[in-house]
Amino acid sequence: MYKKFLKPTLALALSLAMTAGAFTGCSSTKPTVNTSGSTDFADKTPSSYNGSITVWSFTDELKSSKFIDAFNKVYPNIKVNLVVSTTDNNEYQTKLATAMSANAGAPDVFLSEDTFVKEEINSPYADNLSAAPYNAESLVKGNMATYAVALGRDSSNELKALT
């Protein structure tokens, strides 16, 4: 049963990593669109990507579950900087909200709980993952439970988070 869910989970997780910066827009460069209308994401192999992404979390489960190791097997030239903050006294939520509202020091990707995700995706800081260059609708269709997709949609029905 574990293997049945591994492939869709890994595919969605990798897509999340490929959309680094989706929530904060910290990067000064955007993917370019070629004349065929596809993004440069489609023109690259996983091993041709290089750089680093910063991921904020309130647990170390990405490390303990070996998710980062599995990600780096596919994307060997991307360093994942995992920053874990506690949930004591809402430290994680405060740190995240402060970084996003200041538009400085925010992570490329962050983890959230269902208690807070609607507030975060309805903020002006989250990108629409349904739109180019992400085109995440094709990733979730048939790969995710309906309730999980609904959780990632904002009040305008735009997909702003993946699970």
Q: What pLDDT digit, counting tens, does each position of 12-36 carry? A: 444 444 333 333 334 333 433 333 4
Residue 118, Cβ density class (10 Å: 0-12 exposed, 13-18 middle, ≥19 buried) = middle
37 lies in a domain? no
Total number of domains in the chain: 1
Strand-by-strand arrangement of the 78-84 sheet: 78-84, 51-57, 109-110
Q: Tell me the CATH number at 95.
A: 3.40.190
Q: What pLDDT digit, counting tens, does each position of 83-134 carry? A: 999 888 888 989 988 998 887 888 988 898 878 888 888 888 888 999 988 8
163 lies in a domain? no
Residues with Cβ within 8 Å of 137's Cβ and at least 6 positions away in sequence, in order, are: 130, 159
Residue 19 lies in domain: 2-25+42-151
Q: How far apart are the first and last CA of the chain?
A: 19
30 lies in a domain? no
158 lies in a domain? no
161 lies in a domain? no
